[in-house]
Amino acid sequence: MQNYTTIICKTLQQDLHHAYTIQQLCATLQVHSKSDKNKVKKALLHLVQQGKIKKLKSGRYAYASVPTYVTGRVDYVRTEYAYIIAADQPTDILVHQKNLLYALDKDLVKVRLLPGKGRKRPEGMVVEIIERNTAPIIGRITVSGKQPQAIFEQKRTTHTVLLEGKYNDILQENDKVVIALTSFPSTHKALTGTVVQHLGQAGLHEVEMHAIMAEFGLKETFPDHVVESIKNIPTVITEKEITKRRDLRHIPTFTIDPVDAKDFDDALSYQPLANGHHQIGIHIADVSHYVVPDSLLDREAYARNTSVYLVDRCIPMLPEILSNGLCSLRPNETKLTFSAIFELDAQGKVYDKWLGETIIYSDKRFSYEEAQMAIDHQKGDFYQALTVLNHLAKQLHAKRVQKGAINFETRSLVFDLDTNGKPLKVTSKCRTDAHKLIEEFMLLANQEVATFAANLKQKQEKLGPTFIYRTHGHPDADKLNEFFLFVNQLGYKINRSKTSICKAMHDLEKAIQGKKEATIIQSLAIRSMAKAIYTTKPDPHFALSFAHYTHFTSPIRRYPDVLVHRLLKQYLKGAHIYDVASYEKKCQYAVEKEYLAANAERASIKYKQVEFIENLKEQIFEGIISGITEWNMYIEILSNGCEGMVRLSDLTDDVYAFEEKHFQVVGKSSKKRYRLGDIVKVKVKNCDLDKRHINFLLC
């Protein structure tokens, strides 16, 4: 065949504008026997698959134009195919398994785009694996003994790896292990690896949480050299330091946080003013005072970049001595802070503002529940201050909404775990006025800090000194139109053509209150929006309807906030820093780490959801169809927020076809429809803890 592929290519290359039928090509090549003609046909098929020649609609063959190559990362979706995510391509590239060249998830590959043929999305074939993803993988032992084997999951694909190395003697079937791959699959090679960490038996809570941490490269403990470097960190606030700061210890101050919180980033203070206005202080832990640039501690904090919250623990950005001790604004302790102080009238209008380094004394530590009780019952510590703050927060919220802020929220779940980590109950977090109060004042501080930095630019400057902003772009028009098409099909007649996006979203928000489909609509609304990012560009935040916005209020758990504090301190002293390149790089890294943290948190939630549902196999649940593809319907249980899928192949009453434009699947014979947003009843078919999947059957 090799001979014929070369000859055919040369023949077609001689006249790029001429196309041949198989008979014409055989005549040109002087091929007459039946066996040789079959070889020509096989060679043509092979060349078409490689993209070197193309088959026209007429059935003729012609030389293909110069192939287009793209570099990107593999994103495995199913065993049968993967997508290649390339930064310079508007759409992910579909690659079928036979064309993947044994690439694994997250490998960097070179892809040749295949001829279009009227496909919905571009397709390609991997021609080179540029860089293997060498990150450790999590496996479960399936065969123990002299040559143990493990399986590991990558998205919805399962791989087997042969193990070698020091741990092999102690490995038992069903153990979870961390594996470093030593050879990768090919036509003549199996996948092999060595065990670098033995976690223990699969299914145990601690083992599974540590497996998730290992999967995402998260570490609870800090390196010895970092711990050693902060042993002598000053814990006493000197008089010299106090004199540099605005002393606010005499003003009533308190924190409001979750009942189990230990790292208190922010505190509020309240004072009535003689002119009838209100002075509100938003006080943020002065982490940048303790975390010195380019120190061992700073490098570690930057590498982590964010605290990660799994279902049962926090993996902190800073060691406990700082996160829960020195920097945490604990009650009845004097603390160093960076404050934003505002004078507001009863309608929430800002008359004056001040930014600077301060020292505070927190008089009270409220949980959200305690603060809400004080507001509701009008009694208890600081109930009058809390009541005023609550009123002002509502005014600030109303102003944001009036300016076009969008308020859709995602459902947030809470797990009640027993002493062994088994989930007993799953509930949705309830947002009260106390939560919203804190949120509004943090938004105010973040907005005003960003506005201050953005306004520092000189007349001749376009951007001004370097700063880190949190921006949110305008929604993609196609995604937005698709979303409103969906809600219109659900019966919500929101006329997008005659109103702004914000007005349409507010109308929809009011219309869905109390409805069963509210959660899925809110989730889809958020998915239709752009992603918020960190950047040095002072662009607006669309969802909040702010011209400028940053993250200033959580430096214990977010590194970008530490950078904002450092820059802001310099600017308050009159300095100007111009270093866009390095800070933009830090912004991009922060976005990557934020994405990784979100995926780790989601993985721990999904695992506990599967574990919870696994014990309820006999129950029938009411759920909402939260997603539909050509293979599956995704169902979210209304009572607990757990999500699983119904395979279309499990619908035995008919053969169902996916109608993407109508967000539904339809039975070919019965014409029975299942639409996005429909309420259905399901029971558990099976659960897969390794893949963190729940498979349902319709009842």
Q: Could you give the CA distance from residue 554 to residue 615 in angstroms, rounded to a whole number?
A: 38
Task: Express as a percent the part of the chain with pLDDT over 70.
Answer: 98
For the sheet containing 673-675, what is the strand order?
656-659, 664-667, 673-675
Residues 35, 57: one domain? yes
Positive/negative CA dihedral, 608, 612, 615, 621: negative
In eight-state DSSP terms, residue 212 is H
> What local confidence, expressed as pLDDT, does residue 1 receive?
52
Instruction: Indicate whether 57 pLDDT > 90.
Output: no
> What local confidence, expressed as pLDDT, does residue 116 receive?
64
Residues 381, 453: one domain? no
Q: What is the CATH number of the domain that holds 188?
A: 2.40.50.700
Question: Each residue of 558-598: pLDDT tens digit?
Answer: 999 999 999 999 999 999 999 999 999 999 999 999 999 99
Q: How many CB atoms lie within 10 A of CB 151?
A: 14
| β-bridge partners, 126 | 111
Which residue from 638, 223, 191 is spatially nearest to 428, judged by alpha carbons?
Answer: 638
Q: What is the CATH number of the domain that holds 673?
A: 2.40.50.140
In a domain, 111, yes or no: yes
Range of the domain at 276: 227-409
* Exposed / middle / buried, residue 231 (Cβ in 10 Å: 0-12, 13-18, 19+): exposed
In a domain, 426, yes or no: no
Residues 644, 536: one domain? no
Residues 530, 638: one domain? no
Residues 157, 275: one domain? no
Residues 579, 460: one domain? yes
When pLDDT is cut at 50, 70 and 90, the band that residue 16 belongs to is low
Arithmetic mean of pLDDT, 322-341: 97
Arithmetic mean of pLDDT, 642-659: 93
For 91-100, 174-183, 457-466, which range has the lowest pLDDT when averaged over its residues?
457-466
In a domain, 655, yes or no: yes
Instruction: Indicate whether 357 pLDDT > 80.
Output: yes
Local structure of 512: helix, strand or coil? coil
Local structure of 633: helix, strand or coil? strand
Contacts of 500 (CB under 8 A, 6+ apart): 404
Question: Each residue of 200-209: pLDDT tens digit?
Answer: 999 999 999 9
> What local confidence, expressed as pLDDT, does residue 185 receive?
84
Residues 623, 559: one domain? no
Question: Each residue of 155-173: pLDDT tens digit?
Answer: 778 889 999 877 778 899 9
> What local confidence, expressed as pLDDT, does residue 47 receive?
87
Instruction: Indicate whether 508 pLDDT > 90.
Output: no
Please state the domain count of the chain.
6
> What local confidence, expressed as pLDDT, does residue 498 receive?
66
In a domain, 337, yes or no: yes
> What local confidence, expressed as pLDDT, does residue 113 receive?
86
Q: Could you give the CA distance from residue 71 to residue 289 in angstroms, rounded to a whole number?
A: 43
Q: What angle do CA 529, 533, 534 make, to 5 degrees?
A: 160
> What local confidence, expressed as pLDDT, does residue 118 receive?
56
Residues 194, 168: one domain? yes
> What local confidence, expressed as pLDDT, does residue 589 receive?
97
Mapping DSSP onto H, E and C, the string for 93-124 reads EEEEHHHCCCCCCCCEEEEEECCCCCCCCCEE
In a domain, 214, yes or no: no
Residues 457, 580: one domain? yes
When pLDDT is cut at 50, 70 and 90, the band that residue 117 belongs to is low
Residues 511, 573: one domain? yes
Residues 234, 287: one domain? yes
- The average confidence (pLDDT) of the chain is 91
**DSSP letter string over 234-290?**
--SPPHHHHHTSEE-TTS-EEEEE-TT-----EEEEEEE-TTS-EEEEEEEE-HHHH
> What local confidence, expressed as pLDDT, does residue 3 receive?
76
Between 674 and 525, the more confident residue is: 674
In a domain, 215, yes or no: no
Between 339 and 189, the more confident residue is: 339
> What local confidence, expressed as pLDDT, does residue 560 receive?
98
Task: Express as a percent the part of the chain with pLDDT over 90.
Answer: 66
Q: What is the CATH number of the domain that holds 18?
A: 1.10.10.10
> What local confidence, expressed as pLDDT, does residue 2 receive?
57
Residues 354, 403: one domain? yes
